[in-house]
Amino acid sequence: MAVTLHKQANCGFVMLNSPPVNAINQKMREDLIDAVTWAESEGLERVILSGMGRSFAAGADTKEFDHPAISPHLPDVVNRIETSTVPWIAAIHGTALGGGGELALGCQYRIARADATIGFPEVILGLVPGAGATQRLPRLVGLAEALKLIPTGKTISGKAAMAIGLVNAIDDDPVAAAKLIDQKILSEAVPLSLMKAGTDKTVSYDTARQLAIRRMRGQEAPLTAISLLETAQTATFDDGMQKERNAFLALRASPQARALRHIFFAERAAKKPPKAIETQKPTLKPLNHVIVIGGGTMGSGIAYAFLNANIRVTILESDDAGMQRANTAIDTIISASLASGHIDQQAATDRRNLLKVMMAQPDSDAGKRRNDDLTNVDLVIEAVFEDLAIKKEILQAIEPALDPNAIIATNTSYLDVNKLAACLDNPSRFVGLHFFAPAHIMKLLEIVKGSETSPVALAMGYAVAKSLGKMPVVAGVCDGFIGNRILAALREAADATLMDGSTPAEIDRAMVGFGYAMGPYETQDLSGLDIAHANRRRLDPSRDPSRRYIPIADCLVTENRLGKKTGAGWYHYPDENKTVDPTVEDIIRREAEAANIKRRHFSSDEIQQRLLLAMINEAANILHEGIATSAADIDLVLVHGYGFPRWRGGLMHYADQLGASLIMAELTKLCDEDPIFWQPSRLIVDCAKTRQNFASYNK
C-alpha cells in the first residue's frame, strides 16, 4: 500500500507511505482516490492527511516523467479530495513540495510544523505545477505571493507559509492539532476552486518576467508559470486548470525538463560514496579541526567554508604579511556575510572564534607554538602557490607533526597528485580536494583519487563535501583533472577561433547565447590572465611541438593586461563595466598576420559548435581514460564548477542529444583544418560505431 488508512471514532487518518520522501506515483494516486471513497462510505467527519517518515510528500514521482502519464492523474486526485463530502486536513511535516503542496491545497485546512518546507519547485525541474497550484495558490495567498513562489521555485518554512496564509495554523504535532479543529470551521471552508483569484494592482507580470529572464536565463518553465498565474486572474478555474495541464504535459516532455531531471538524479547519485568506500566502510572521526596551509585566495575561502560548518580551522601562513592577509580576507568574507544577512552578529563572532592564523615554519619563534595544535587535527589542506617543489617541501615538513590518522589533501588545480603523495611517508593518507573560487560559495568539490589514496582518505573527501554542502565528484590524476582539462580544451579552441577571424566579444556573445552567464574571455578577465599564463609556462617543456600554439594571451600578459584587476585584459575596464578594446583586436590581427593566417568571419553557431566540440572531445577522452567515472559526473563538474547551463543537462548530456555519429562527422570535417587538435577521441569513434550513448558508457 502506498497509502495507509485507519480511523478513530469519526476521524479518518490517511498516511502517505512511500519511503523515503513519499513521492507521489501512480499507485499512491490510486490509493488516494480509494481513500476518498473509503472516508465517504464510512461516513467520517474529517480526514487527516499526513506523510510517513521524514516528509509529507516531496511531489510527483519524477521517475514517471520519462513515460506517458497514466491515470488517475494528480489534478483529478486533488479535485476528488477537494470536492469530497468529507473535509480533508493536511498535516504537514518535513517537505510538502510540488504535487505534495498541491495535495495540501486540495484540503479544506492546512496545519504545518514551523520547520516544514513548503513550495512548488517544479520550475527547477523545467516544469510548471501540474495539479492545480498555479490556479489554487493565487486564490489562497494572492497573486503577489504566488508570483514570488511558483516562477522561482522558492520554498518557504511552515512559519513563513503561515505568514502569507498558505497554511492555516502552525503546530509541532500537526496530526494531533488537526483532530482538535472545530468541525464548523471545516464545514464552512470554501474550496479554493470556488474562490476568485482577484486583482492586485501592485503585481506587474512584466517585472516578474524580466526577473525570471535574468535569474533563470534561457529557461521556458518560469515564463510559462507566470503566464499561468496571469490566467488565474483572467480565466475561470476550469479553463485555468486545462491550460495548466496542457503546459505541464508539454514541458514534461521537453528537452529542458529532461536535462534538468538528469542533473537532479545525477546530483543524488554523486552524493553516494563509491564502491571502495561502501565495501570497506572506513571509520572516520567527525571533522573537528582542519589545518589550511596558505591563506590566500583559495585558502581563506576554504577556511571560511569550514568555519561556516562550525568546524575549527587553523590557517598556517609563511610570514606576518601572509597572516595579516589571511585575517583580512576572512574578516572581509565574514563582514559580507553579515551585511547580506546570511549570518547574524553572534554567528560572525562564533566563526571568528573558531579560527586561528599562525606561522607555518616550525623553526620560527611563532611557529614553535603551532605543533601543539597539529596533534589534534583531522585534515590538512594545502593551498599554497601552484608549485610542485614548494608544495612538496610543505607537505614533507608537516607530515611528521601530525597524528598518523590525519588526512592530508592538496587543492592543486593541475599538479600531479601522485607526485605530491610520493613525497610523504604514508602516501595513502593523501587525496586531492580541488575547491573552486570562491571556495565558500562554489558547490563543486573534485575529489582527486591518486594511485595510493586509501578508502579512508577518499571517505574524508565525501565527509568534507557533506559537511560543507558541496557536490563531490571523484576524478583520477591527470593535468587539470576533469574540469580544468576541459576548460583548457575550450580555451584552446576559442584562441584558435580568435586567431582565425573572430573577436573576444563575438566569442563571448556566442557562448552567452548558448546559455553561459559569461563568455570565456570575460571570465578570464575576472579570474586573471596570469594564472593561465603561469600554467602555459609550466607546460612548455612537455607541449607537443607540432601542436598549434596561439600566442595572443601571452601578448596580453606581456603588456600587463592581466584582466579586470589591472584595468585591462581581453576587454578594457574604465570602470566596473567592460568595453571592447581595439588594442586587443590589433594584437589579434598582428599575430594572425605574422602567422600568415587569412582571417574569416565565424557565425555565432560556428563558434558555439567549435568550442563545444572541443570540450566534448576532451571530455570523451577523460571518460575513456577513466579520469571520470561516468558521463554524469562530467555533467556535474561543468554545471557546478564552470557555469555550463544546467538546463542543457551538462556537457555529456548535451553531447548525447547531438549523438556520437554527428559529433564524429563534425570533428572529422574540422580535422582538415587541424588534424591534431580535432582528432576524435577513441570513445567518440566507438560510440559512433556502436550507436552507444555516452551516458551508458561504463569503463
Residues in contact with ligand NAI by the rule CB under 6 A: 293-299, 316-318, 322, 325, 360, 383-386, 390, 394, 411-413, 435-437, 527
| Alpha-carbon distance values, 498 to 477, 602, 611, 666, 678 (Å) | 31, 9, 11, 20, 16
- The C-alpha cell at 555 is 601578448
Q: Which is nearer to ligand NAI, 159 or 533 (CB)?
A: 533
Taking contact as CB under 6 A, which single stretch among the options 30-38, 94-102, 107-115, 542-550 is the one that binds ligand 3HC? Answer: 94-102
Which residue out of 82, 122, 446, 492 is catalytically annotated?
A: 122
Binding ligand 3HC by CB under 6 A: which of 3, 14, 74, 684? 74
Q: Which is nearer to ligand 3HC, 120 or 481 (CB)?
A: 120
Q: Which is nearer to ligand NAI, 293 or 607 (CB)?
A: 293
Judge whether 490 and 538 are in contact, CB under 8 Å. Answer: no
Checking 160-163 for CB contacts under 8 A at 24+ apart, the result is 161/112, 161/116, 161/118, 162/112, 162/114
* C-alpha torsion angle, residues 80, 250, 518, 662 (rounded to 10): 140
- The C-alpha cell at 137 is 495558490
Say which DSSP state 186 is in. H
Taking the complex as a whole, the smallest distance from the CB of residue 160 to ligand 3HC amounts, in Å, to 16
Taking the complex as a whole, the smallest distance from the CB of residue 150 to ligand 3HC amounts, in Å, to 10
98 lies in the site for ligand 3HC, by CB under 6 A: yes
Q: Which is nearer to ligand NAI, 44 or 292 (CB)?
A: 292
* Pairing of β 109-112 and β 117-119: unpaired
| The entry of ligand 3HC, ligand NAI, none that residue 550 binds, CB within 5 to 8 Å by partner kind | none
649 lies in the site for ligand 3HC, by CB under 6 A: no
CB neighbours of residue 667 within 10 Å? 22
553 lies in the site for ligand 3HC, by CB under 6 A: no
Q: Which is nearer to ligand 3HC, 65 or 304 (CB)?
A: 65
Judge whether 358 and 370 are in contact, CB under 8 Å. Answer: yes
Binding ligand 3HC by CB under 6 A: which of 18, 50, 79, 95? 95
446 is a catalytic site residue: no
Judge whether 131 and 78 are in contact, CB under 8 Å. Answer: yes
Taking contact as CB under 6 A, which single stretch among the options 93-101, 569-577, 604-612, 650-658 is the one that binds ligand 3HC? Answer: 93-101
Judge whether 301 and 437 are in contact, CB under 8 Å. Answer: yes
Taking the complex as a whole, the smallest distance from the CB of residue 487 to ligand NAI amounts, in Å, to 11
Q: Going by C-beta distance under 8 Å and a sequence separation of 6 or more, which residues neighbour residue 361?
A: 318, 367
102 lies in the site for ligand 3HC, by CB under 6 A: yes
Residues 329-358 that bind ligand 3HC (CB under 6 A): none
| Alpha-carbon distance values, 508 to 525, 607, 670 (Å) | 12, 9, 21
Cα–Cα distance measured from residue 101 to residue 117, given in angstroms and rounded to the nearest whole number: 10
Taking the complex as a whole, the smallest distance from the CB of residue 526 to ligand NAI amounts, in Å, to 10
Q: Which stretch of DSSP H or E encloses residue 290?
A: strand 289-293
61 lies in the site for ligand 3HC, by CB under 6 A: yes
Taking the complex as a whole, the smallest distance from the CB of residue 441 to ligand 3HC amounts, in Å, to 20
Judge whether 448 and 432 are in contact, CB under 8 Å. Answer: yes
Can you tell me which residue has the cell 516578474? 208
| The entry of ligand 3HC, ligand NAI, none that residue 61 binds, CB within 5 to 8 Å by partner kind | ligand 3HC
| The entry of ligand 3HC, ligand NAI, none that residue 299 binds, CB within 5 to 8 Å by partner kind | ligand NAI
Judge whether 118 and 147 are in contact, CB under 8 Å. Answer: no
Closest residue to bound ligand NAI by CB: 296
Provide the H-helix boundaries in 46-152: 74-82, 99-106, 133-141, 143-149
Judge whether 135 and 242 are in contact, CB under 8 Å. Answer: no
137 lies in the site for ligand 3HC, by CB under 6 A: no
Q: Which is nearer to ligand NAI, 181 or 487 (CB)?
A: 487
Find, among 314, 306, 304, 316, the residue nearest to 286 by Cα: 306
Q: Which is nearer to ligand NAI, 362 or 551 (CB)?
A: 362
CB neighbours of residue 592 within 10 Å? 18
122 is a catalytic site residue: yes
Q: Which is nearer to ligand NAI, 448 or 619 (CB)?
A: 448
Q: Going by C-beta distance under 8 Å and a sequence separation of 6 or more, which residues neighbour residue 543?
A: 549
Question: What mask, x for binding ligand 3HC by CB under 6 A, covers residues 1 to 40?
Answer: -------------------xx-x-----------------
| Alpha-carbon distance values, 121 to 151, 154, 183, 210, 687 (Å) | 8, 6, 33, 19, 36
Cα–Cα distance measured from residue 297 to residue 573, given in angstroms and rounded to the nearest whole number: 22
Q: Which is nearer to ligand NAI, 339 or 389 (CB)?
A: 389
275 lies in the site for ligand 3HC, by CB under 6 A: no
326 lies in the site for ligand 3HC, by CB under 6 A: no
Taking the complex as a whole, the smallest distance from the CB of residue 290 to ligand NAI amounts, in Å, to 15
Q: Which is nearer to ligand 3HC, 17 or 566 (CB)?
A: 17
Which residue out of 82, 102, 522, 666 is catalytically annotated?
A: 102
122 lies in the site for ligand 3HC, by CB under 6 A: yes
Taking the complex as a whole, the smallest distance from the CB of residue 470 to ligand NAI amounts, in Å, to 13
472 lies in the site for ligand 3HC, by CB under 6 A: no
Taking contact as CB under 6 A, which single stretch among the options 5-13, 96-104, 106-114, 295-303 is the one that binds ligand 3HC? Answer: 96-104
* Sheet order of strands, 109-112 included: 3-8, 11-16, 46-51, 88-92, 109-112, 169-170
| Alpha-carbon distance values, 51 to 4, 16, 694 (Å) | 10, 5, 38
Binding ligand 3HC by CB under 6 A: which of 12, 87, 106, 121? 121
130 lies in the site for ligand 3HC, by CB under 6 A: yes
Cα–Cα distance measured from residue 624 to residue 312, given in angstroms and rounded to the nearest whole number: 40
67 lies in the site for ligand 3HC, by CB under 6 A: no
Q: What is the DSSP string of 373-412?
A: HHTT-SEEEE---S-HHHHHHHHHHHGGGS-TT-EEEE--
What are the catalytic residues? 102, 122
- Positions that interact with ligand 3HC (CB under 6 A): 20-21, 23, 58-63, 74, 95, 97-99, 102, 121-122, 125, 127, 129-131, 268
